[in-house]
Chains A and B, each alone.
Chain A
Protein backbone atom coordinates (compact mmCIF):
# COMPACT_ATOMS: atom_id res chain seq x y z
CA UNK A 1 0.00 0.00 0.00
CA UNK A 2 1.85 3.09 -1.27
CA UNK A 3 -0.35 5.75 0.41
CA UNK A 4 0.55 9.17 -1.02
CA UNK A 5 3.19 9.26 -3.75
CA UNK A 6 4.90 12.46 -4.86
CA UNK A 7 7.17 13.04 -7.84
CA UNK A 8 9.79 14.29 -8.29
CA UNK A 9 11.56 14.00 -4.93
CA UNK A 10 14.13 16.64 -5.85
CA UNK A 11 14.18 19.40 -8.45
CA UNK A 12 16.39 22.39 -9.21
CA UNK A 13 14.93 25.16 -11.35
CA UNK A 14 16.12 28.46 -12.67
CA UNK A 15 14.10 31.60 -12.02
CA UNK A 16 11.27 31.83 -14.54
CA UNK A 17 11.11 28.14 -15.38
CA UNK A 18 7.92 26.20 -14.92
CA UNK A 19 7.29 22.77 -13.49
CA UNK A 20 4.57 20.51 -12.17
CA UNK A 21 4.66 18.47 -8.97
CA UNK A 22 2.63 15.30 -9.20
CA UNK A 23 0.74 13.60 -6.38
CA UNK A 24 -1.29 10.41 -6.33
CA UNK A 25 -3.04 8.55 -3.51
CA UNK A 26 -4.34 5.01 -3.48
CA UNK A 27 -6.49 5.18 -0.32
CA UNK A 28 -9.72 6.27 -2.07
CA UNK A 29 -9.58 9.53 -0.14
CA UNK A 30 -11.90 12.34 -1.13
CA UNK A 31 -9.74 15.34 -0.22
CA UNK A 32 -6.23 16.31 -1.26
CA UNK A 33 -3.90 19.11 -0.21
CA UNK A 34 -0.65 20.83 -1.12
CA UNK A 35 1.51 22.31 1.66
CA UNK A 36 4.88 23.95 1.71
CA UNK A 37 7.25 23.67 4.67
CA UNK A 38 9.85 26.32 5.39
CA UNK A 39 12.17 26.72 8.40
CA UNK A 40 10.49 28.68 11.16
CA UNK A 41 7.21 28.87 9.24
CA UNK A 42 5.81 25.40 9.68
CA UNK A 43 3.43 23.82 7.20
CA UNK A 44 1.37 26.28 5.18
CA UNK A 45 -1.53 25.30 2.96
CA UNK A 46 -1.18 26.31 -0.69
CA UNK A 47 -4.30 24.79 -2.28
CA UNK A 48 -6.70 22.02 -1.47
CA UNK A 49 -9.38 19.97 -3.17
CA UNK A 50 -12.20 18.94 -0.87
CA UNK A 51 -13.58 16.55 -3.47
CA UNK A 52 -13.04 15.56 -7.06
CA UNK A 53 -13.87 18.50 -9.31
CA UNK A 54 -13.29 21.23 -6.72
CA UNK A 55 -10.22 23.24 -5.74
CA UNK A 56 -9.78 26.13 -3.32
CA UNK A 57 -7.03 28.48 -2.25
CA UNK A 58 -5.23 28.02 1.02
CA UNK A 59 -3.04 30.41 2.96
CA UNK A 60 -0.29 30.97 0.35
CA UNK A 61 -1.70 30.37 -3.18
CA UNK A 62 0.11 33.12 -5.10
CA UNK A 63 2.40 31.80 -7.83
CA UNK A 64 0.78 28.35 -7.90
CA UNK A 65 -1.97 26.56 -9.78
CA UNK A 66 -3.49 23.16 -9.15
CA UNK A 67 -5.43 20.53 -11.01
CA UNK A 68 -7.50 17.72 -9.50
CA UNK A 69 -7.13 15.36 -12.41
CA UNK A 70 -9.31 12.62 -10.92
CA UNK A 71 -10.00 11.23 -7.47
CA UNK A 72 -6.47 9.84 -7.16
CA UNK A 73 -4.33 12.67 -8.55
CA UNK A 74 -3.71 16.29 -7.57
CA UNK A 75 -0.95 18.29 -9.26
CA UNK A 76 0.71 21.57 -8.32
CA UNK A 77 2.13 23.82 -11.03
CA UNK A 78 4.62 26.64 -10.75
CA UNK A 79 4.22 28.74 -13.91
CA UNK A 80 7.22 31.03 -13.39
CA UNK A 81 9.38 29.87 -10.51
CA UNK A 82 10.88 32.40 -8.11
CA UNK A 83 13.60 31.94 -5.45
CA UNK A 84 10.92 32.54 -2.78
CA UNK A 85 9.35 29.25 -3.88
CA UNK A 86 12.38 27.28 -2.75
CA UNK A 87 10.84 24.94 -0.21
CA UNK A 88 9.81 21.40 0.62
CA UNK A 89 6.39 20.62 -0.80
CA UNK A 90 4.09 18.03 0.72
CA UNK A 91 1.00 16.53 -0.76
CA UNK A 92 -1.57 15.10 1.64
CA UNK A 93 -4.93 13.39 1.44
CA UNK A 94 -7.79 12.71 3.80
CA UNK A 95 -11.03 10.77 3.77
CA UNK A 96 -12.91 13.65 5.38
CA UNK A 97 -16.37 14.02 3.89
CA UNK A 98 -18.30 15.88 6.52
CA UNK A 99 -17.59 16.53 10.16
CA UNK A 100 -15.01 14.82 12.32
CA UNK A 101 -11.28 15.17 12.65
CA UNK A 102 -9.62 15.86 9.31
CA UNK A 103 -6.76 13.36 9.55
CA UNK A 104 -4.17 13.91 6.85
CA UNK A 105 -1.85 11.33 5.31
CA UNK A 106 1.27 12.97 3.88
CA UNK A 107 3.61 12.04 1.08
CA UNK A 108 7.39 11.98 1.51
CA UNK A 109 7.88 15.47 0.11
CA UNK A 110 9.40 17.15 -2.94
CA UNK A 111 12.45 19.36 -2.37
CA UNK A 112 12.49 22.27 -4.80
CA UNK A 113 15.33 24.75 -5.22
CA UNK A 114 14.90 27.80 -7.42
CA UNK A 115 18.15 29.53 -8.37
Chain B
Protein backbone atom coordinates (compact mmCIF):
# COMPACT_ATOMS: atom_id res chain seq x y z
CA UNK B 1 0.00 0.00 0.00
CA UNK B 2 1.31 3.44 -0.93
CA UNK B 3 1.64 5.99 1.85
CA UNK B 4 -0.40 8.47 -0.19
CA UNK B 5 -3.20 7.46 -2.54
CA UNK B 6 -4.72 9.76 -5.13
CA UNK B 7 -7.27 8.99 -7.85
CA UNK B 8 -5.47 9.63 -11.16
CA UNK B 9 -8.61 10.66 -12.99
CA UNK B 10 -9.00 12.07 -15.54
CA UNK B 11 -11.74 14.25 -14.12
CA UNK B 12 -13.71 16.28 -16.67
CA UNK B 13 -16.12 19.01 -15.53
CA UNK B 14 -17.95 21.90 -17.21
CA UNK B 15 -16.80 25.46 -16.63
CA UNK B 16 -18.27 26.88 -13.42
CA UNK B 17 -18.54 23.52 -11.64
CA UNK B 18 -17.28 22.85 -8.14
CA UNK B 19 -14.39 20.42 -8.23
CA UNK B 20 -13.38 18.12 -5.39
CA UNK B 21 -9.94 16.53 -5.43
CA UNK B 22 -8.92 14.09 -2.72
CA UNK B 23 -6.05 12.14 -1.22
CA UNK B 24 -5.94 9.51 1.47
CA UNK B 25 -2.88 8.59 3.47
CA UNK B 26 -1.77 5.93 5.89
CA UNK B 27 0.88 7.65 8.05
CA UNK B 28 -0.84 9.22 11.04
CA UNK B 29 2.31 11.26 11.75
CA UNK B 30 1.78 13.50 8.70
CA UNK B 31 1.25 17.10 9.79
CA UNK B 32 1.99 19.26 6.74
CA UNK B 33 -0.33 18.94 3.77
CA UNK B 34 0.19 20.64 0.42
CA UNK B 35 -1.43 20.90 -2.96
CA UNK B 36 0.63 21.51 -6.08
CA UNK B 37 -0.69 22.29 -9.56
CA UNK B 38 1.20 21.07 -12.60
CA UNK B 39 0.41 22.26 -16.10
CA UNK B 40 1.31 20.02 -19.02
CA UNK B 41 5.09 19.86 -19.57
CA UNK B 42 5.77 22.24 -16.66
CA UNK B 43 7.05 21.87 -13.15
CA UNK B 44 4.67 21.65 -10.18
CA UNK B 45 3.85 24.91 -8.41
CA UNK B 46 2.52 25.27 -4.89
CA UNK B 47 -1.17 26.16 -4.60
CA UNK B 48 -1.56 26.08 -0.85
CA UNK B 49 -0.59 24.24 2.28
CA UNK B 50 -2.10 23.55 5.68
CA UNK B 51 -0.66 22.48 8.98
CA UNK B 52 -2.48 19.80 10.95
CA UNK B 53 -6.27 19.70 10.67
CA UNK B 54 -8.79 22.25 9.47
CA UNK B 55 -9.64 24.34 6.46
CA UNK B 56 -7.77 26.98 4.55
CA UNK B 57 -9.24 29.20 1.86
CA UNK B 58 -7.48 31.17 -0.87
CA UNK B 59 -9.74 32.74 -3.44
CA UNK B 60 -11.59 29.99 -5.30
CA UNK B 61 -9.52 27.27 -3.62
CA UNK B 62 -10.23 25.60 -0.27
CA UNK B 63 -8.05 22.94 1.31
CA UNK B 64 -9.44 20.64 3.99
CA UNK B 65 -7.65 18.19 6.23
CA UNK B 66 -9.40 15.49 8.24
CA UNK B 67 -6.68 13.77 10.24
CA UNK B 68 -9.13 11.43 11.97
CA UNK B 69 -10.01 9.94 8.57
CA UNK B 70 -6.54 10.47 7.07
CA UNK B 71 -8.18 12.32 4.19
CA UNK B 72 -7.42 15.64 2.55
CA UNK B 73 -9.38 17.54 -0.07
CA UNK B 74 -8.97 20.47 -2.42
CA UNK B 75 -12.12 22.24 -3.58
CA UNK B 76 -12.17 24.54 -6.57
CA UNK B 77 -15.20 26.82 -6.89
CA UNK B 78 -16.35 28.34 -10.19
CA UNK B 79 -13.82 26.25 -12.09
CA UNK B 80 -12.22 27.79 -15.18
CA UNK B 81 -10.57 26.25 -18.25
CA UNK B 82 -7.30 27.69 -16.93
CA UNK B 83 -7.66 25.32 -13.95
CA UNK B 84 -7.09 22.37 -16.31
CA UNK B 85 -3.94 20.71 -14.96
CA UNK B 86 -2.70 17.84 -12.84
CA UNK B 87 -3.15 18.38 -9.09
CA UNK B 88 -0.68 16.73 -6.77
CA UNK B 89 -1.12 16.33 -3.06
CA UNK B 90 2.00 16.15 -0.88
CA UNK B 91 2.55 15.66 2.81
CA UNK B 92 5.23 15.26 5.45
CA UNK B 93 5.44 14.40 9.12
CA UNK B 94 7.74 17.22 10.22
CA UNK B 95 8.94 20.39 8.61
CA UNK B 96 12.42 21.48 7.61
CA UNK B 97 14.74 20.58 4.79
CA UNK B 98 15.75 17.13 5.97
CA UNK B 99 12.18 15.98 5.92
CA UNK B 100 10.99 14.53 2.65
CA UNK B 101 7.64 15.26 1.09
CA UNK B 102 5.59 12.26 -0.03
CA UNK B 103 3.64 13.02 -3.20
CA UNK B 104 0.45 11.50 -4.54
CA UNK B 105 0.44 10.41 -8.17
CA UNK B 106 -1.72 13.36 -9.21
CA UNK B 107 -5.27 13.85 -10.54
CA UNK B 108 -5.67 15.14 -14.09
CA UNK B 109 -8.44 17.76 -14.26
CA UNK B 110 -10.01 19.06 -17.47
CA UNK B 111 -12.44 21.98 -17.27
CA UNK B 112 -14.51 22.19 -20.43
CA UNK B 113 -15.56 25.67 -21.66
Chain A contact residues, CB within 8 Å of chain B: 4, 30-31, 40-45, 48, 50-51, 56, 58-59, 90, 92, 94, 96-109
Contact = CB atoms under 8 A, between A and B. Distances in A.
A100 B43 contact: no
Given A90-B44, A101-B51, A108-B43, A43 B99 contact: no
Given A90-B44, A109-B42, A56 B88 contact: no
Contacts of A42: 4, 6, 88, 103-106
Contacts of A44: 103
Contacts of B106: 42
Nearest to A51: B97
A96 B96 contact: yes
Interface in B39-78: 41-46, 49, 51
Chain B interface size, under 10 / 10 to 19 / 20 to 34 / 35 or more: 20 to 34
Interface in B83-107: 88, 90, 92, 94-101, 103-106
A100 B98 contact: no
Contact of A31 (B51, B92, B97, B105): B97
A90 to B, nearest CB: 6
Given A51-B97, A101-B32, A106-B43, 17 more contacts: A30-B97, A42-B4, A42-B106, A50-B97, A56-B98, A96-B95, A96-B96, A96-B97, A98-B96, A99-B96, A100-B95, A100-B96, A101-B34, A103-B34, A103-B46, A105-B45, A108-B43
A90 B42 CA distance: 10
B16 interface: no
A104 B98 contact: no
B42 to A, nearest CB: 6
B14 interface: no
Contacts of A4: 43
Nearest to A91: B43
Nearest to B101: A102
